[in-house]
Amino acid sequence: MSYEQEEEDHYGPGYEVGSYTKDYNDGPYDGESDLNVNSNPEGKPRILLMGLRRSGKSSIQKVVFHKMSPNETLFLESTNKIVKDEISNSSFVQFQIWDFPGQVDFFDSNFDCEMIFGGCGALVFVIDAQDDYIDALMKLNLTVTRAYKVNPNIRFEVFIHKVDGLSDDHKIEAQRDIHQRANDELMEEGFDSVNLSFYLTSIYDHSSYKKNLLQTFITDSNEALDLKLVREPSDVQNDETTFKPEMSHQIFGENESIFGYQNLKISLYYTAGKLNTYLGMSYKAEVDPKQFDGAIADDVMGAISAKLPPGYMTNLDDFVATLNKEQTFKPFGDLLSTYSINKGSAKERHFQLYSCTIEETGFRSYHERLQTFLLWYVDAASFIDVDDDRWRFYLIFEKYPCDGGHRYAICGYATVYLYFAYPNKTRPRISQFLVLPPFQRLGLGAELLNVIYRSFLKDSNILDITVEDPSDEFTRLRDFVDAQNCKKLPSFSKEKLHQGFTAEMVDEAQRDLKINKKQARRVYEILRFQATNLSDLEEYRAYRLDVKRRLNIPYQKEASDYKKLQKALNAEELRSTLSTSTKEQRIENLEKQYQTLENEYRHTLERLAASQ
């Protein structure tokens, strides 16, 4: 792994260091030194700098923080006592470094491990890569295990130092070897939960140290963003009403990170009914371009606001004031179904499902706010062209008591496009489908999908219903709902399932449930698996062969194409044109595909059993 990769993997966002130490030097500790816990009255964060003698610890400090020329470090004397160094480069970069002598003996009765390591935030251990590092690894192991026992929250950073004199291959090998040995020794002693971060370093190129410091200004955008559906003012400060995005790369890039801030928090709040929107952010510190070669912070507000429709608020008080208008909000469109959970208990909740078109008064602007949730939960999400009148919208609302009456909170929604199917039919395609995190695992997804199905069942002009690029989660939901519905059809009875997949199943599933042929076959396999006695080896084998015959169809086509090409091409042309699988490869691939399917089917059947 490269130095840069190690940084990205191990030097995470919001990194702070801190410790409380007691002086220790080459001789006995006398308790009289000014290097004691009271020498840090402001409680500045501290870093412990450790390693063997002449490993380069002091040189790193002088070059990075005191702008000493690397050549001048040749004249530095070896450290023989703890040296305190105050770092105050700016108003937000203020901490202390404690440089320990290489001959520190942790077993000396004068060495107070509790005082040294207790509360410490980071320990940097320096290893001379140009020397035999066996002794250094032993000292590293002793240091880490002692420190971790006292304070398991310490971050351990290992600088593989003086790599300027090594070839690139030697650098990589040294890093790999040190990484492997250090972690193996910790695991052997039962410290496998300790995380060590490794860096290749040199005082002749200390840009790496600035890079390390810059890492503290990198934040995981998924962790930084707080989403809320606010029903009452107290929800704003209530952490229990906060939910997180599943993804943020569609706003903040592939790495899902934000640069330029420490302790960054982004607030994206919606009123639960009207979806009036608030966007705000806070942070402890922002990167100073003067300190870091012109590096500037990402425009967080600009990146998010570009996806929000006009009218969002940046003043939290103004946002809270709009909650008074929630009592006038009513769902859009026609009520199709009601759904309740925990009936008869104090936790009883009621939901309503509606359908509407874009022509519904006020819905166009409402949908503009609603669809922004897709960016955080649906991969490759795109906003639809609502001016096309073939779109249909389905919405879920919770109807909840408030101030002696009722209000409504959005729970999720789906969009369906009515495609033309030759010669004179319509084929609805489910395009977007989302149940928001606070309302997941309540059965609302299955209810919403069934409502969509039922809205088309009586329409003889509807051929069947399809899905656009379904996610794995939606595929599992669809399998569950379709299997639950098909179980009620005569053609999917246990007796007929054992006879194989038939045209009767295709026709009945399409006619009565608007399920297409491909999905009907999948449901057949799920329900036949349920009907199969797995302890009956012949019955189980018959089921596996039935599924594998379907999975083998692409390989049969491949063999047919190969025979055709054999007649038209010579052996060399054939080899360069078509790559075919061997019989062994085909059997192996079929088995892998089958096992994947069986696992998926088992999950569906477990949910079916739990729902009964």
CATH dotted code for 481-611: 1.10.10.390
According to the model, what pLDDT value does residue 209 have? 54
pLDDT at 522: 98
Chain-centroid distance of CA 543 in Å reads: 37
The residue assigned the tokens 């330029």 is: 260
What values do phi and psi take at 133, rounded to 5? Answer: -95, 15
User: What is the C-alpha to C-alpha distance for residues 504 and 558, in angstroms, rounded to an integer?
Assistant: 30
Give the C-alpha separation, 52 to 578, whole Å.
Answer: 61
pTM here is 0.68
How far apart (Å, rounded) are the C-alpha atoms in residues 199 and 157? 8
Q: What is the domain partition of the chain in residue ranges?
A: 46-205, 213-326, 332-367+379-469, 481-611
CB-count exposure of residue 257 (10 Å: 0-12, 13-18, 19+): buried
The predicted structure's pLDDT at residue 303: 97
Beta bridge partners of 85: 97
279 neighbors 314 (Cβ within 8 angstroms):
yes
CA atoms of 218 and 279, how far apart (whole Å): 20
In whole angstroms, give the CA distance from residue 231 to residue 241.
Answer: 10
Q: Is 43 helix (H, G, I), strand (E, B) or coil?
A: coil
pLDDT at 332: 98
Encoding tokens for residue 555? 């390989």
Contact at 8 Å (CB) between 410 and 272?
yes
Q: What is the pLDDT of residue 17?
A: 28
pLDDT digits (tens, 9 = 90+) for 361-374: 999 999 999 999 99
380: left (phi over 0), alpha (psi -120 to 50) or beta: left
One-letter amino acid at 273 equals: G
At 3 the pLDDT is: 35
Residue 181, token pair as written in the block:
């040995």
Cite the DSSP H helix spans in 89-133: 113-117
Give me the numbers of helices (H) and strands (E) for the chain, helices first please: 21, 20
CB 484 within 8 A of CB 476: no
Beta strands at 122-128 and 218-220: parallel, antiparallel or unpaired = unpaired
Q: Which residues are catalytic?
A: 468
Fold of 213-326: Histone Acetyltransferase; domain 1 (3.90.360)
Predicted pLDDT at 164: 82
The 10 Å CB-count burial string (b at 16+, else e) for 583-603 is eeebeeebeeebeebeebbee
With a CB cutoff of 8 Å and minimum separation 6, the contacts of 499 are none
The two most distant CA atoms of the chain are separated, in Å, by 96
User: How confident is the chain (612 residues) per 10-residue block, as mean pLDDT?
Assistant: 37 30 35 42 75 88 81 74 75 75 74 80 91 92 92 92 85 91 93 91 68 79 97 97 97 93 97 98 92 88 97 98 96 98 95 97 97 96 93 98 95 98 95 98 98 96 96 97 98 97 98 97 98 97 96 81 71 64 84 96 96 86
What's the Cα-to-Cα distance from 457 to each of 208, 291, 396, 463, rounded to whole Å? 64, 66, 20, 10
CB neighbours of 65 closer than 8 A, spacing ≥ 6? 85, 87, 89, 97
**DSSP 8-state assignment for residue 10:** H
CA distances from 26 to 82, 105, 118, 326 (A): 8, 9, 21, 70
Amino acid at residue number 283: Y
The pLDDT value recorded for residue 25 is 37
Task: Give 3-state DSSP helix, strand, coil % of the chain, rounded to 5.
Answer: 45, 20, 35
For residue 257, which amino acid is it?
S
Do residues 548 and 525 lie in contact, with contact meaning Cβ atoms separated by under 8 Å?
no
Yes or no: domain 332-367+379-469 corresponds to CATH 3.30.360.10: no
d(CA 358, CA 147): 63
Give ∠ CA 494-497-501 in degrees, rounded to 5: 165
Query: What whole-number distance in Å separates Cα of residue 288 and Cα of residue 311?
Result: 32
Rounded CA separation 129/163 (Å): 6
Residue 266 to residue 242: CA distance in whole angstroms: 12
Q: Is the peptide bond before 28 cis (omega within 30 degrees of 0)?
A: no
Residue type, 549: R
Quickly tell me which residue has 């199969």 as its tokens. Answer: 532
CB under 8 Å to 200, separation ≥6 — which residues? 3, 129, 160, 163, 171, 175, 208
Write down the pLDDT at residue 574.
61
Q: Which fold has domain 46-205?
A: Rossmann fold (3.40.50)
What is the residue-wise DSSP string for 509-564? HHHHH-B-HHHHHHHHHHHHHHHS-TTSHHHHHHHHHHHHHHHTHHHHHHHHHHHH
Residue type, 109: S
First and final C-alpha spacing in the chain = 51
Contact 259, 287 (CB under 8 A): yes
What is the per-residue pLDDT across 398-445, written as a single tens digit (0 to 9) for each?
999 999 999 999 999 999 999 999 999 999 999 999 999 999 999 999
